[in-house]
Amino acid sequence: MAYSPCANNCGFFGSPQNDNLCSVCFQRQTIYTPSHRASPSGPVIVSIPITDGPSSSAEDTSVPVVFVSSSKKNGDSAGRSLASFSAVGSGSGDPHHEPVKSRLTRCGCCNKKVGLSGVRCRCGTVYCYSHRFPDQHDCTFDFKTHDRAALAKANPLVEASKINKI
C-alpha cells in the first residue's frame, strides 16, 4: 500500500481508502459532507409488512415506521431554540437581569479577602481566620436556644411508670 501526503496538505500521510486524506481530515470531511454521512439528515419513513403467516392476500398490511436521526448539529440548534424559548417565556421583564452575586470572598468584619479559607458562621456570614469565632464578631445567632432545642429533640423526657410493680 503506497501512502502519499494528505490531499489537504496538513502534513500527514493519507491513504487511498480515505481518498488520499489523513484520518483527521477524512473524519472532518465525513462530518461536514452530507453525502458521506452514515445516517440521513431527515426523518425516514419505512414500511414494514406485518404478516401472521403465509398469506397471499393482496391487501396492504404494512405499518409505516418513522426513524428520526439525531445529528449533533440538529440537537445543538434545537437546544439553542429551546433555551431561547425558555428565556423568553420566563416572565422576567428585564432580559439583562442577573441574580445578585453574594460576596463570599470577603470577611464580614475586616473586609479582608478570604477566598476558600473563609469560615461561614451560623449567623450566615463569612469570616476570616481571626474573626471566625462568635466572640470575635457580632454574631446574631442564638446558640443557647438552638442547643436546648437540639437536646430536647435528641433526649425525650423519661418518666417513671405509673403502675408500681410487685
Torsion of CA 80, 85, 90, 95, to 10 degrees: 70
CA angle 72, 75, 81 (to 5 degrees): 140
pLDDT confidence of residue 92:
47
**CB neighbours of residue 6 within 10 Å:** 20
- Per DSSP, what are the bridge partners of residue 113? 106
Dist CA 23 CA 12 (whole Å): 9
More confident residue, 102 or 28: 28
Region of 135 (left: φ > 0; alpha: ψ -120 to 50; beta: rest) is alpha
The mean pLDDT of the chain is 71
Q: Which of 36-40, 82-86, 120-124 has the highest mean pLDDT?
A: 120-124
Please report the pLDDT score of residue 73 as a whole number. 45
Q: Give tens-digit pLDDT for 20-31.
A: 888 888 888 888
Average pLDDT score over residue span 68-88: 43
Write down the pLDDT at residue 147. 95
CATH code of domain 115-154? 4.10.1110.10
Sequence ranges of the domains in the chain: 1-39, 115-154
Confidence of residue 121 (pLDDT cuts 50, 70, 90): very high
